[in-house]
Chains A and B, each alone.
Chain A
Amino acid sequence: MILKIIIYVFFAMGIFFGILGNVGVLKFPDIYTRLQASSKCGVTSVVSIFIALMLLKGFTPITARILVITLFFLITSPVSSHIIGRRAWEEGILPWRKKSSPK
């Protein structure tokens, strides 16, 4: 019973952070803020969904494979976000500032 509640909490966390990250990617004004929303919320939502699936399956071979996919995703997704941010910085895109604030 407690395990089922934990599984539901992890699924709800995945859905919540996924919706939040995508709304951030749509609504934020600049490339770096969009990158922040995409990186943090995307990784959190997908990894919490994977943890919920691992708790759902128990000790089976599927769990070990999901663990391998989780570790790989946890390594490569921030690396690709870093590559995109570095590419944007080398192209000369400056960070966004408010129009009313003095420079």
Chain B
Amino acid sequence: MNLLILDVVIFVLIAISVLSMIRVIIGPTHEDRLIGLNLAVSQVLAILVITAVKFDRSIYLDVALVYAILGFLGILAIARYLGGQK
């Protein structure tokens, strides 16, 4: 019963991430694309943590922590790159 709700949440998060990737594709400015990317990063992080709890492997949690750090640094680096463009 518990595994069923985990599967449902994973499917909903994947369907939601498709919506935010649509904003990444059609965004008029660079910052719109960054907003969609930030949202997709957080939802993929949630999918990784749910997968770790579902299979009871704690190695996925290390992957999730590194993914969170790299997502934050990626957003920071892209924003800094766009700032130095002019």
A residues in contact (CB < 8 Å) with B? 7-8, 11, 14-15, 18-19, 21-23, 25-26, 31, 34-35, 38, 42-43, 45-46, 49-50, 53, 56-57, 61-62, 65-66, 68-69, 72-73, 76-77, 79-81, 83-84, 87-88, 90-91, 93
Contacts and interface: CB of A to CB of B under 8 A. Distances in A.
**Interface size bracket, B side:** 35 or more
Interface in B1-32: 2, 5, 8-9, 12-13, 16, 19-20, 22-23, 29, 31-32
A84 B38 contact: yes
Contacts of B38: 38, 42, 77, 80-81, 84
Interface of B: 2, 5, 8-9, 12-13, 16, 19-20, 22-23, 29, 31-32, 34-36, 38-39, 42-43, 45-46, 49-50, 52-53, 56, 58, 61-62, 64-65, 68-69, 72, 75-76, 79, 82-83
Given A50-B46, A62-B52, A83-B75, A26 B35 contact: no
Given A22-B16, A62-B61, A73 B45 contact: yes
A84 B16 CA distance: 21
B64 to A, nearest CB: 6
B36 to A, nearest CB: 6
Contacts of A8: 5
A22 B50 CA distance: 20
A38 B35 contact: yes
B75 A11 contact: no
